[in-house]
Amino acid sequence: MKRIFLIVLVIMAVQQLLHAQHISYRNQQEVGLVSYGPMPLEIGFAARSFHGVAIGDAHTLGVNVGVNRFPIEGKSTIWTVPLTIKNRYVLSPRRKAAFFTDLDVGYALASLNKERKAVPVWSTYDGGVVMNPQIGLKLASPSQNFFWTITGGYLYQRLAITTYSNYDPNFNSRDPSTVDWIGDFNRERNRYAVHRLTFMLGFGF
Amino acid sequence: MKFLKNAWLFLLAALLFYGCDKVTTERTYAVRLPTFVSMSTLRLQAEQMVVLPQPLESTGKIYVYGDYLFINEPMKGIHIYNNADPKSPVPLTFLKVPGNVDMAINAGMLYVDSYVDLLTFDLADPAKPTLVHRNEDVFVSLYQRDYTNAGSDKLMVVSGYRDTVISASDERIYKPYIKEVDLVYDNVNAGGNYGQGGSMARFTLSMEHLYAVDHYKLHLFQVSDKRKPAYIKDIELGWGIETIFPYKDHLFIGSNTGMFIYDVTTPGEPEQVSRYQHMRACDPVVVNDDYAFVTLRTGVACGGAQNVLEVVDIKDLTNPRLVKSYPMKNPHGLGLADDVLYLCEGAFGFKSFRVSDVHNVANNALESFENLVSTDVIVAPKSLVVIGENGVSQYDYTDKAQLKLLSKIQLAKSK
């Protein structure tokens, strides 16, 4: 599934390149905070690297690769690796200070998390769809070859954590005397829909 | 410019919003759920109680009567052995008594519990016990009144357990700024109804009376007509009652918070003499003239935090007092043979101590059988009978300091 997604992503990017009138490479690095809100509480961080092409003056299309680390429910911390297609639209692109909107859509991998695979407790992590619309301000250098950005946005991320405890649905290896009536909990899968705000600082060329 | 103004307004508005985690939890439990049966159904099955000897599959209480050994298989019944030669006990029969956990024998009459009923069997021919009387509904605390959908036939008991997989799910929203969880919905799909476990009665005979304790009551029966026990009354003891041990004209009742001493000089009217309190733990008791030996152990059902043997001075029964406490590993049942104390350490083996000097028991250890899983012991006239999870062992204790294995009845699955 992930492989298919990456192939589609590359095809779309190439297609855009072929139809563009005016093509030039764009690169941007960003770091910032992932937060539940403006209050500094249970804050995570994010870092991203964008590689794409400018299509005309106003549009930029490319691939964004990054890493997010943020707390979940105040009790565990999750790493994700978002792989997204980013489309940026810059309003008044010829101005040195220009506002823009970004839309990142893709999939976030959860493979950076350390899975525990040992009896009696197992835990596994699954990534999911990620979406990150943002608005920001772009401050370009006098030559317009280098720019700074400041953005704020909304992060939507799906992921899941599954914990197994003495899991044996067939009871084959279980000692019945250890099984409690109400408490011998075996499998818990928490599916998260994460809604956060992002505040990023970046630079690019 | 209009767009930019709108964009900034949108950004400012976004800052006023708070993020959250919407969490959907799906749980899968593997549990044992009780199955229920009505007492009326069980009573109808009383005609097929005596069957051929069966393999011993689990062990509960043990009882020795004359040359016969009775081994309870919890909730299933009683294996009866001819134990005239402890070196070679001979299985005679299996008495199928559903819901049975304890027994007592008085002059050839076997009293057993069957869930809420007390049954009396004539042991004239121990190979073919005959049911002679049934006292119905005397241990009513075993009824599961609130946990079944039995309609009008609500007097159900737990007949067994079955492994069941239950799935459940719920949704919640986590907001760090508001420390509460909004439960959106809850959905549980269980394979059946489930409830709470039954209590286990403990029996003893004294002064022509049968005393049976469950977790919070002492049930009193007069057995002067040995074929037909007469229920007298219940005495509330408080929660956590576990064992009952008769000595002369007193009963020593172990609970998980202390030991009750009852005077049964007037057997139909037991009077509490005193109560010796200790930390919460399971506590079988044995006594001699001067001292009570109490084991306290930890465990799921006991909730205790210590594993010790306590020696309690009972010369003044109205004022029992602790003499000394000795650390143990997981002490269960115990037995006294003169000045030798035999102590079951559960999965940690079986030990013996000379207790003539109660201040120095730990230094007077006699033997330790680390591989003998043991839960209870009877000092019988012909042999020392030790029961554990793996079976029933009998020892020659002619030399109390050096036990000699005579025989072993193993569980079918451990053979």
Number of domains in chain A: 1
Average pLDDT of A14-40?
76
Are A179 and B33 within 8 A, CB to CB? Answer: no
CB A149 within 8 A of CB A203: yes
d(CA B217, nearest CA chain A) in Å: 24
What average pLDDT does chain A have?
Answer: 82
Average pLDDT of A177-189?
58
Q: Tell me the one-letter amino acid at A9.
A: L
Q: Which of A113-122, B216-225, B244-253 has the lowest mean pLDDT?
A: A113-122
Question: Which has more confidence, B404 or A38?
Answer: B404
Question: Which has more confidence, B47 or B4?
Answer: B47
| Inter-chain CB pairs, A–B, below 8 Å | 116
- Residues B79, B263: Cα–Cα separation, whole Å: 33
What average pLDDT does chain B have?
Answer: 81
Are B27 and A188 within 8 A, CB to CB? Answer: yes
What is the CATH number for A95? 2.40.160.20
Percentage of chain B modeled with pLDDT above 70: 82
Look at the alpha carbons of A144, A149, A153, A159 in this order and tell me if their dihedral is positive or negative. positive
Average pLDDT of B292-320?
79
The separation between CA B335 and the C-alpha centre of its own chain, rounded to angstroms, equals 17
Q: Which of A106-120, A144-158, B230-244, B289-303 has the lowest mean pLDDT?
A: B289-303
- Residues B227, B118: Cα–Cα separation, whole Å: 12
Q: Which of A61-70, A86-95, B175-184, B341-350 has the lowest mean pLDDT?
A: B175-184
Which residue on chain A is closest to B195 by alpha carbon?
A: A181
Mark out the alpha helices in chain A (DSSP H runs).
2-19
- For residue B297, the 8-state DSSP code is B
Helix, strand or coil for residue A5?
A: helix
CB B134 within 8 A of CB B120: yes
SS3 content of chain A, % helix, strand, coil (to 5): 10, 60, 25
- For residue B346, the 8-state DSSP code is B
Reference A65, options A23, A24, A26, A108; nearest CA is A108
pLDDT band at B34 (very low <50, low <70, confident <90, very high): confident
d(CA A149, nearest CA chain B) in Å: 15
Are B19 and A37 within 8 A, CB to CB? Answer: yes
The pLDDT tens digits for B236-294 are 877 677 788 888 788 888 877 778 888 888 888 888 888 887 655 556 778 888 998 88
Question: Which has more confidence, B357 or A41?
Answer: B357
The whole-number pLDDT of residue B27 equals 81
CB B212 within 8 A of CB B201: yes
The whole-number pLDDT of residue B3 equals 57
- Residues A97, B4: Cα–Cα separation, whole Å: 12
Quick check: B169 pLDDT over 50?
yes
Q: Tell me the one-letter amino acid at B23.
A: V
The whole-number pLDDT of residue B301 equals 53
Q: Copy the structure tokens of residue A37.
A: 């809100």
d(CA B242, nearest CA chain A) in Å: 19
- Report residue B333: phi and psi, to 5°: -75, 160
Range of the domain at A173: 2-204
Quick check: A20 pLDDT over 70?
no
CB B334 within 8 A of CB B286: yes
CA distances from B42 to B35, B121, B299 (A): 13, 17, 32
The whole-number pLDDT of residue B188 equals 37
Are B34 and A184 within 8 A, CB to CB? Answer: no
Please state, as a whole number, how many other Cβ atoms lie within 10 Å of the Cβ of residue B300.
8
